Amino acid sequence: MNILILSAGTRNKIVQYFKKALNGDGRVIAADASDLAPALYEADGFHIVPRIDAPGYIDLILDLCRKEQISAVMSLIDPELSLLAAHEEKFRALGTMVVGSSYDLCEMALDKMQMYEWLAAHHYCCARSWTDKELFYREVEAGRAQYPVFVKPVRGSASISISKVYDRETTDLLFAHTPGLMIQEFLDGQEIGVDAYIDLISGEVVSIFTKKKIVMRAGETDKAVSFKDPELFALMERFILEAGYRGQIDIDVFEVGGRYYISEVNPRFGGGYPHAYEAGCDHMKLILNNAAGIRNEKNIGSYDDGVCMMKYNEVKIIRK
- Same domain? 281 vs 243: yes
Domain of 154, in residue numbers: 128-185
Query: Coil, helix or strand for 26?
Result: coil
Cα–Cα distance for residue pair 191/254, rounded to 1 Å:
5
Examine residue 290 and state whether it is found in any structural domain, yes or no: yes
**Which residue stretches of the chain are H helix?**
12-22, 57-68, 78-86, 88-93, 103-110, 112-121, 133-141, 168-177, 230-243, 273-279, 283-291
Closest listed residue to residue 307, CA positions, set 228, 226, 192: 226
Cα–Cα distance for residue pair 279/255, rounded to 1 Å:
22
- Same domain? 195 vs 172: no
Kindly report which listed range (110-119, 148-157, 198-207, 235-244) carries the lowest average pLDDT score.
148-157
Has this prediction a pTM greater than 0.85? yes
> What is the DSSP secondary structure assignment for residue 40, as one 8-state letter?
G
* Last residue of one domain, picked from the residues 58, 83, 98: 98
Examine residue 118 and state whether it is found in any structural domain, yes or no: no
Predicted pLDDT at 157: 64
- Same domain? 134 vs 162: yes
Residue 314 has pLDDT above 60, yes or no: yes
| CATH number for 207 | 3.30.470.20
- Same domain? 254 vs 196: yes
Task: Tell me the per-residue pLDDT of 180-235, one tens digit each, with 9 for 90 and over.
Answer: 999 999 999 999 999 999 999 999 999 999 999 998 776 678 899 999 999 999 99
Cα–Cα distance for residue pair 241/311, rounded to 1 Å:
31
Examine residue 318 and state whether it is found in any structural domain, yes or no: no
Cα–Cα distance for residue pair 223/272, rounded to 1 Å:
9
Examine residue 26 and state whether it is found in any structural domain, yes or no: yes
| CATH number for 166 | 3.30.1490.20
How many domains would you assign to the chain?
3
Examine residue 119 and state whether it is found in any structural domain, yes or no: no
